[in-house]
């Protein structure tokens, strides 16, 4: 059974499957070329929570969140290519998670999990390092691929100290899927535009660099709750609600 967050099922202690790993496993299998199970899982979890999963249910998101708390001389809030790079995760989703496992197959008709194999640092951290540390047999067979993935993990860790959740912002295909549901999800943010004083505090505090008032439930909103906490007029609220209930008009 899948869990909502990016949780590598090669981790020795894992009890659930990563939805992105599972999607590649089904698409890359010789038997299936479409996954109803994973489509349904994404529809259900995405429609219920949207990117609340990124903010509160993803173990790799938590690791990045903790790394960002490490003090550093200068944290990078945004940079010139920040916004365009946010689209990279959708390209990674399309190419590495869907197209390559589907079409690059061996003689038996089986495709590789390209994203897990070449990109995902969560697998290296949660599965690779613990398993290889504990097994002399596995230590004897590590090669270029492991060093490549270790380098990606180290870059991700270092960047996570400087930039808030760089993997979630630019790379994560699971976040890309849930982002598509942010505008329609049952758990959502509401802005009471009559209460809003346009002080701009919410925009300044948003770690994903969006404007919670102008871009409520934006694709990049991970529902961290920072804007809600800082809003002194109580204009921003969140909760589970069927239908839309944004109030008033903002001049």
25 binds another protein (CB under 8 A): yes
Can you tell me which of 33, 48, 195, 201 binds another protein, judged by CB under 8 A?
48
Nearer to another protein, 160 or 185 (CB): 185
Query: Which stretch of DSSP H or E encloses residue 239?
Result: strand 236-240
Helix axes 59-68 and 144-162, enclosed angle (nearest 10) = 50
Can you tell me which of 6, 38, 172, 210 binds another protein, judged by CB under 8 A?
38
Stretch that binds another protein, among 54-62, 139-147, 157-165, 193-201 (CB under 8 A): 139-147
242 binds another protein (CB under 8 A): yes
Contacts (Cβ under 8 Å, ≥6 apart) of 81: none
* Cα angle value 210/176/144 (rounded, 5°): 120
d(Cα 131, Cα 174) in Å, to the nearest integer? 24
6 binds another protein (CB under 8 A): no
Stretch that binds another protein, among 87-95, 179-187, 195-203, 222-230 (CB under 8 A): 179-187
d(Cα 203, Cα 210) in Å, to the nearest integer? 6
d(Cα 245, Cα 98) in Å, to the nearest integer? 35
- Quote the least distance from Cβ 116 to another protein, whole Å: 4
Residue 142-171 contact track with another protein, rule CB under 8 A, x = bound: xx-xx-xxx---------------------
Q: H helices of 106-193, where?
A: 114-118, 121-123, 129-134, 136-139, 144-162, 166, 173-179
136 binds another protein (CB under 8 A): no
How many residues bind another protein, per CB under 8 A?
55
237 binds another protein (CB under 8 A): no
Please report how many Cα atoms fall inside a 13 Å half-sphere around the Cα of residue 155, on the Cβ side: 11
110 binds another protein (CB under 8 A): no
Contacts (Cβ under 8 Å, ≥6 apart) of 95: 114
Q: Which residues bind another protein (CB under 8 A)?
A: 1-2, 8-10, 14, 17, 21-22, 25-26, 29, 31-32, 35-48, 112-113, 116-117, 120, 123-124, 127-128, 131-132, 138, 141-143, 145-146, 148-150, 181, 184-186, 242-244
């Amino acid at each position: 059974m899948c869990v909502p967050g990016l949780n590598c099922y090669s981790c020795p202690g894992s009890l659930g499957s990563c939805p992105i790993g599972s999607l590649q496993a089904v698409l890359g299998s010789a038997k299936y070329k479409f996954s109803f199970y994973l489509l349904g899982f994404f529809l259900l979890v995405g429609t219920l929570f949207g990117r609340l999963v990124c903010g509160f249910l993803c173990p790799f998101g938590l690791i990045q969140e903790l790394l960002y708390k490490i003090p550093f001389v200068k944290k990078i809030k945004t940079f010139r290519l920040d916004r365009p790079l946010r689209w990279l995760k959708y390209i990674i989703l399309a190419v590495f998670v869907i197209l390559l496992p589907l079409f690059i197959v061996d003689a038996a008709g089986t495709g590789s999990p390209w994203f897990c194999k070449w990109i995902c640092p969560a697998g290296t951290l949660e599965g690779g390092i613990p398993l290889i540390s504990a097994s002399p047999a596995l230590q004897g067979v590590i090669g270029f691929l492991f060093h490549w993935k270790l380098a990606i993990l180290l870059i991700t860790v270092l960047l996570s100290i400087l930039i808030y959740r760089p993997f979630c912002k630019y790379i994560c295909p699971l976040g890309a899927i849930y982002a598509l549901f942010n505008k329609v999800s049952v758990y959502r943010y509401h802005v009471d535009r009559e209460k809003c004083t346009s002080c701009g505090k919410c925009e300044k505090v948003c770690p994903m660099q969006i404007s919670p008032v102008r871009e409520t439930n934006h694709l990049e909103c991970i529902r961290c709750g920072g804007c809600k906490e800082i809003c002194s007029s109580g204009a921003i609220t969140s909760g589970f609600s069927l239908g839309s209930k944004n109030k008033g008009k903002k001049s």
